[in-house]
Amino acid sequence: MCSSDLCLRGGFTCLGEIARAMGFAIPEEADPNDGIAVTFQEFADAIARLSEVDFPLVRTTEEAWLDFVGWRVNYEAAAYAIARSVDAPPAMWSGPRRHPIPVIPPLRPATRRLGTPPE
C-alpha cells in the first residue's frame, strides 16, 4: 500500500470514528454496492477543472471514477452526517444541510504564475 493510500485510509477511518462518537450509525466497513451521491458527471466536471489548470492527469476520467467511488464509499456517509450536524458551509459534494442553502462553488483566483503580468 502506498503512502497516499495510507493517508486516505487514515482519513476515512478517523472520519468514521468521529461520526460514530457523535452517535451516527456509520458501519465499520462500507459496502461498495451502496454507491455514492456524487454523480459521474459531477466527477467529470471536476476532472475537467483540474485539466484546465494543467494538473497532471495519469488516467482517463472513466478509469479514475472506479477508484474514486471505491474510496469515497468509505467516508461519504460519515462526512455528510458530520457536515449536516455542525451546519458546515454547503460546499460542492459535501452533502445536504439542515437548512436549504445554495451550494457554494469554489472561487478560483486568476493565475499569477511567474512571468505572467497581473491583469
Residue 19 maps to a domain: yes
Closest CA to 36 of 78, 69, 80, 83: 69
- Domains in the chain, number: 1
Residue 94 maps to a domain: no
**Quick one: average pLDDT of 9-16?**
91
Q: Could you tell me the pTM of the whole model?
A: 0.74
Burial class (CB in 10 A: 0-12, 13-18, 19+), 95: middle
Residue 64 maps to a domain: yes
- When mean pLDDT is compared across 38-52, 72-86, 105-119, the lowest value belongs to 105-119
Residue 80 maps to a domain: yes
* Whole-number Å distance between alpha carbons of 55 and 61: 13
The answer to whether 36 and 76 are in contact (CB under 8 A) is yes
* Whole-number Å distance between alpha carbons of 39 and 104: 18
Predicted pLDDT of residue 112? 63
Burial class (CB in 10 A: 0-12, 13-18, 19+), 79: buried
Domain with 24 in it: 3-86
Q: Which residue has the cell 437548512?
A: 99
Q: What is the pLDDT of residues 53-104, one digit of tens each?
A: 899 999 999 999 999 999 999 999 999 999 889 888 877 777 777 777 787 7
**Quick one: average pLDDT of 34-43?**
93
Residue 56 maps to a domain: yes
Residue 112 maps to a domain: no
